[in-house]
Amino acid sequence: MAVCTCPPRVFTSSQPGPRPRLAGRIDATAPFHGLSSLILRFPPNFVRQLSTKARRNCSNIGVAQIVAASWSNNNSNSGIPAAPSATAVDAAATAAIPVDPAKLSAGGDEAVFENDVQLEALPDLKEASFLSSDGSLAIHAGERLGRGIVTDAITTPVVNTSAYFFKKTGDLIDFKEKRATSFEYGRYGNPTTVVVEEKISALEGAESTMILASGMCASTVMLMALVPAGGHIVTTTDCYRKTRIFIETILPKMGITATIIDPADVKALESALNEHKVSLFFTESPTNPFLRCVDIKLVSELCHKKGALVCIDGTFATPLNQKALALGADLVVHSATKYIGGHNDVLAGCISGSLKLVSEIRTLHHILGGALNPNAAYLIIRGMKTLHLRVQQQNSTASRMAKILEAHPKVAHVYYPGLPSHPEHQLAKRQMTGFGGVVSFEIDGDLMTTIKFVDALRIPYIAPSFGGCESIVDQPAIMSYWDLSQSERITYGIKDNLVRFSFGVEDFEDLKADIMQALETI
């Protein structure tokens, strides 16, 4: 564990009222005080405009902590007088947010870095914000609420670089000896991707978020980082097939075994917890493709009693429809390719949770790679500006169409948590604020009848994925399980007549008319 030699000063990440423009400049004439001191000087209001979380979440977060540490060091030790506004801000922040002495070293003047980033002297803060809705947070979190990129641009710049330079060797040594933080290499962090992490953390109510190159990258890195060799996990029968393949074929090579239970089988979970030393319970909620729901609050209580972590894949729910961390889960993962990106034009995954757990996963991620390109991060930032609008429309369309499909004579069964017929409907009503934009249903017919229906549709694309502006339809027996025999597909509950329909943001009446005419063809 390394240390940073700076007094325990605390700065709030955002303040009510208008935000002053950034006008920071490096003072090249500032005196040099050795490698343990920094020579950066910025106007006092500069620190106020940098998000606290932006100084904490990314592994090597950039200039923000350097500025804060430098300002504290220079004001305290170098004889440079503090500006009145700096003293006022510092005093107000310190008075409002007391520092926990237990988190400081015995010397009282060293703040602990954890995983090269976390200043333990800074308490965990919720951003003091004038925004009260998820929709506004999706637009402004990580940007108007404070970002570590100095710019007057409304949109976040794309920082296209694979590496970051140090002005002199002394700065590099300070970084290596943990007296200062900085970006170093593109695989470890990027100013553009940090903004995405900040937005998702704000929506999930998480201390930290890590963005990765894909949803599968997020799930696999998380499992490898948190489950020890020879460990045991519990997961559910209904899940994304590639996740199942990883659990069943790759994890056993590390001696990791798994118990697979029905999403609603609490007794089976209790048995697994009693019979095995379970490291992690990992499930989707809602699940893919039958949209089963897990009682997140209950399973979290059961798992925590036995020392097991809980990770929920909330991709189908979105951070707007469900708050897995608030319900008790330790981690939530998303394929940001889906609703978070929302435009069928980017691949990404994310993991949100406590700083401690996300830092453990980040350490392995830095070794394995799978970093998100900053251009992809920009697309996600842009997509998230309309996340709440898209999800509202998709929730509405899917709910209305699920009821229509359930009443149609050519539809055998509908799977949607918003329907009273769904086995976890009451649970979904308790832990979700919306039921999502995907509806799965079975056509009253065989493989070829279902193909005829799918091919008769004019609006949706026949494609994998879901959650984008464009509607997408697929027949899981063909799209995801075609390499298996019909009897093998049935063991997973995948019938030949199953259809998964992801509703986009097209007009409801257009979608309804299209589905009705396609049903008339069979």
Per-residue pLDDT in tens (0 to 9) along the chain, 522 residues: 333 333 333 333 333 333 333 333 333 333 333 333 333 333 333 333 444 344 334 333 333 333 333 333 333 333 333 333 333 333 333 333 333 333 323 333 332 323 332 223 223 334 446 788 999 999 999 888 777 777 889 999 999 999 999 999 999 999 999 999 889 999 999 999 999 999 999 999 999 999 999 999 999 999 999 999 999 999 999 889 999 999 999 999 999 999 999 999 999 999 999 999 999 999 999 999 999 999 999 999 999 999 999 999 999 999 999 999 999 999 999 999 999 999 999 999 999 999 999 999 999 999 999 999 999 999 999 999 999 999 999 999 999 999 999 999 999 999 999 999 999 999 999 999 999 999 999 999 999 999 999 999 999 999 999 999 999 999 999 999 999 999 999 989 999 999 999 999 999 999 999 999 999 999
Catalytic residue among 188, 240, 378, 415: 240
C-alpha–C-alpha distance, residues 185 and 208, integer Å? 20
CATH number at residue 461: 3.90.1150.10
C-alpha–C-alpha distance, residues 522 and 519, integer Å? 6
> Is 26 inside any structural domain?
no
**Residues comprising the chain, all counted:** 522
- Residue 354 CB contacts under 8 Å (≥ 6 apart), including other chains: 206, 207, 208, 330
> Is 496 inside any structural domain?
yes
C-alpha–C-alpha distance, residues 310 and 300, integer Å? 6
Do 375 and 412 fall within a single domain?
A: no
Do 367 and 397 fall within a single domain?
A: no
CATH number at residue 172: 3.40.640.10
> Is 61 inside any structural domain?
no
Do 207 and 304 fall within a single domain?
A: yes
> Is 34 inside any structural domain?
no
> Is 191 inside any structural domain?
yes
C-alpha–C-alpha distance, residues 135 and 123, integer Å? 27
Do 180 and 263 fall within a single domain?
A: yes
Do 271 and 333 fall within a single domain?
A: yes
Catalytic residue among 313, 330, 474, 496: 313
Query: What single DSSP character describes residue 297?
Result: H
Active site residue 55: no
Overall domain count for the chain? 2
Active site residue 187: yes
pTM: 0.75
Catalytic residue among 187, 241, 452, 512: 187
> Is 447 inside any structural domain?
yes
Catalytic residue among 179, 199, 338, 362: 338
C-alpha–C-alpha distance, residues 226 and 23, integer Å? 42
Do 230 and 260 fall within a single domain?
A: yes
Active site residue 415: no
Where among 344, 366, 385 does a domain terminate? 385
C-alpha–C-alpha distance, residues 218 and 436, integer Å? 21
C-alpha–C-alpha distance, residues 311 and 331, integer Å? 5
Do 335 and 413 fall within a single domain?
A: no
Where among 364, 385, 406 does a domain terminate? 385
Q: Which residues pair with 212 in a beta bridge?
A: 349
**Segments forming the whole domain that contains residue 454:** 387-521
Do 377 and 391 fall within a single domain?
A: no
Active site residue 277: no
